Chain A
Amino acid sequence: MYDTIIIGGGPAGLAAAVKAKKLGLKVLLLDENEFLGGILPQCIHPGFGLHYFKEELTGPEFAHRFIREINELNIEHYTNAYVLEIENYSDLEKKVVFSSPEGVKEVWGKTIIYAAGARERHAFEIGIVGDRVAGIYTAGEAQTLMDIYGVMPGKEVVIVGSGDVGLIMARRFALEGAKVKAVIELMPYPGGLARNVMILRDFEIPLYLSHKVVEVRGRKRVEKVKVVKVDENLKEIPGSEFWIECDTLLISAGLIPNVKLLKKIGAQIDPLNGGPIVNEFLETTIPGIFVAGNALLINDLVDYVAEQGELAALGAKEFIENQGILSRKWIELKRGSNVRILAPHYISGERDVYIYARVSRPMENVRVTFPEIEKELRLPVVKPSEMLRIKLKAEEIQKAEEEITMEVGKGEV
């Protein structure tokens, strides 16, 4: 029986494994890929680890630091291990069934740290119609092709979505000599971090805000895509359609936490985050199953992902020591105005917590308030693309009776 079985060898799972081992737990790490690191090995651009390691690394470098520790600490792990099933046998015993080149195996753990990441939304999910031809990729798929396997997908590219992955791939394509003809963004503002939005200026790539791609045409491969402008309610404006010729369409329309296995065993899901409802230890509604990284909520920085992995490991330790997370007076953390994504959902006031949040729309000169505990902070700007990470101190939380609301509003009010 393992103390904790960690599902997923990306940054959240790696950080969780290292931390759990250092806390003295018996750890098993399972990853479905041929190599550890999750998507980090294909993220060959810099910008990783500024918070966590206080220096700027590429994705492979960031992963490598953890993988080295995994090896130095002799943490038991399998690659090519795909989890087929989780069974919550009892609150203190969980079974994980996984497939590997050594066979279908069953392992038992007191806790599970679920760090299975996210998947990308694809063309069909965002309502694109037309021909189903070659040349349509999700941004991550194109990144895998180019940066792991050295394949050039195409030469004239239109990118749907101005999130970080889309922008980074715009640069990647441009650097390899492709023509990036447009980035098409549904919202009236760009979806990525400011430093990534700069890419568009650097490479003179047109950005169409409040636009969407609605149709693809081509015989064997993409030949053109149809773009339409939308109004402030995201409704298409008739007569605004135009075509862009291209051979490649990249879909970078957001990520969805990969929680199918958790759903199957009844973990409650927060419909807005897409990930599970969790307490301050990142424990789901199933005792002893913790979640971290993009399976919890979509993060913008890998540093937060690693931080969540470590927190989940602390949770697992607490769980094992007490045969469960001790009952507490849980205070519910609630979304107020302009808060779309929020976790954790329940906090106790026994320790400081970081809360992760995203706003629904950008705002300048901002007041973030928690009325029940009379906490307030001011920010020059908030954007949906940049996650807010706010520390609530134990003594602050204790001021609340039953709930704490997070509000994001205008500064002058």
Chain B
Amino acid sequence: MKTRVAIIGAGISGASIARVLSKYENLEVHLIEKNADVGWGVSKANTALIHGGYDDDPEKYPVRAKLCIKGNRLWHEWVKELEIPHIWNGALIVALRDEDFKELEELLERGRKNGVPEMRIVDKEELFHLEPNLNPEALGGLWVPIVGQIGPIPAVIAIVENAVANGVKLHLETEVRGIKVEGGEVKGVETNNGFIEADIIINAAGLYADEISRMVGVEDFEIHPRKGEYWIFDDDIPGPRRVLFPTPTPKSKGVVVTTEISGHLMIGPNAQDLPKEEKENLATTREGLEEVWKKAKELWPNLPPRSKVIRTFAGLRPEPTGGDFIIRAEKEVWGFINVAGIRSPGLTSAPAIAYEVRDIIKRDLGIKLVEKKKWNPYRKDITHFFMLSKEKANELVKQNPSYGKIVCKCNHVSEGDILEAIERMKLIGVKTPSIDSIKVRTKATSGTCQGSFCRVRIARILAREYGVDLWNVTLKGKGSEIGIGDVKVLLRGDVE
């Protein structure tokens, strides 16, 4: 008999856990996600960094301190196996004042304790060698070459695709309504799509992990949202080569200045604590964005004019009671594992979190895991027209002319890329066609014009491939349809 595992939440944590558990012959893994696609919660909006693992105090936050550096090392393998877009460009924590060096020394010491390699404090000369366009008043910095950047949702997608290829069953648009516990053991998950039996339930529900945990009576922590806001600039604005951090404060690592992997200068986030109820509050605010602007300017005085902004966005970090990751098998309810409060550095830690959960299953639940003889660690990325050589592009066009049809002008995304994305969406079970699903897989709509040229073209392709009316294509899942009907719908009185 196989042990049935239900993972709640297909974000970076849930997906990573699913992938690692898919290695075992005697597990049947179900990944449950309330959204129309994977990675649309906390994973969607963040700084997209693979952190160095130096800033979490092992005394105060032992789990974070341990898993961050471990996660960083695992990402070096995962990005290759799964063809996840990435860059290892290193980070500089910049000292602007003499007193900042004291903090940098402490970070260096903490990094040593956590096992972070290759860190060192650099003087002004080397600092500007590493990052020529930094604020000229900077005095020095801490150089952490193992820091990198990845595409966070492309990572979730890659991991899920690989997990599904290895037998994981993904349940999208499936919202958990309750958890059945009998005789102190979990029995399964009640959802809007029926009951999913499970022997082990893993709660990786991000901002909602406290609510899921409460369903089995574990109520010793709360998650509150901490909002961070960001600016992204047009791709003709030069940005830094390294990830630039200010010297951190107790609350946050500070506003980062970076060139994100698509080549856009990005600044953010600030940190604003929201009430526990505001888990859907993703609105950007004037105040927050201005705060980010002011702080980013301290590191990068050459911010472009506001007319060069192509997008602002906000993300929420799930802040747990106590501040450390909560990763444990709950003793009162056999089979229930919390993976809660996965705030920063959650993206970095995710692969390590997944192995931690595997070890908990072995150690605390006493399940002997049997490795699959044939487990496939690899996954191929979809074609990106903008990355192809002319020869390769022509080869593809010969097989399929849609690869020659450019749909997104700003980022050179072809219809062929989009058709591949749709094929992949269908393969993992995406039922509701949405433009954001295409955006995160292909980069279409994320350039200078922010989709004003290509959104309609993409919607047409989605409508055709999914067999729905054009107006029923959504921006980001049900309720965000691009139209209300055909152009005469109001005159006919078909809409209230």
Q: Which residues does A use to contact B, with CB under 8 Å?
A: 32, 80, 82, 84, 97, 99-104, 119-120, 122-125, 127, 129-134, 137-138, 140-141, 144-146, 149-155, 176-178, 214-215, 217, 219-221, 260, 263
Contacts and interface: CB of A to CB of B under 8 A. Distances in A.
A130 B487 CA distance: 28
29 contacts: A32-B406, A80-B405, A82-B412, A99-B393, A99-B406, A102-B397, A102-B401, A103-B398, A119-B448, A119-B449, A120-B452, A129-B286, A129-B289, A131-B283, A132-B284, A134-B474, A134-B479, A134-B481, A137-B452, A138-B452, A145-B456, A151-B487, A154-B484, A176-B487, A176-B488, A176-B491, A220-B480, A221-B479, A221-B481
Given A127-B306, A140-B452, A151-B470, 12 more contacts: A103-B394, A104-B393, A122-B449, A141-B453, A141-B455, A144-B456, A152-B483, A153-B484, A176-B491, A177-B491, A220-B480, A221-B481
B310 A125 contact: yes
A263 B234 CA distance: 14
A100 B285 contact: no
B88 interface: no
A295 B495 CA distance: 40
Interface of B is mostly: mixed
B309 A125 contact: yes
Interface of B: 236, 280, 282-286, 289, 306-307, 309-313, 385, 390, 393-394, 397-398, 401-402, 404-406, 409, 412, 414, 448-450, 452-453, 455-456, 460, 470-471, 474-491, 495
A104 B412 CA distance: 12
Nearest to A133: B480
Contacts, number: 146
Contacts of A122: 310, 449-450, 452
A122 B234 CA distance: 13
B448 A150 contact: no
A133 B474 CA distance: 10
A146 B285 CA distance: 32
Contact of A129 (B284, B401, B405, B483): B284
Contact of B483 (A123, A132, A151): A151
A402 to B, nearest CB: 32
Contact of B412 (A84, A144, A177): A84
A146 B487 contact: yes
A119 B447 CA distance: 12
B182 to A, nearest CB: 36
Given A84-B412, A124-B310, A220-B479, A103 B471 contact: no
A219 B455 CA distance: 20
Which 7 residue pairs spanning A and B have beta carbons closest together? A220-B479, A177-B490, A134-B480, A101-B401, A82-B406, A151-B483, A134-B475
Nearest to B385: A99
A101 B456 contact: no
Contacts of A130: 283-284
A84 B390 CA distance: 11
A135 to B, nearest CB: 8
B332 to A, nearest CB: 36
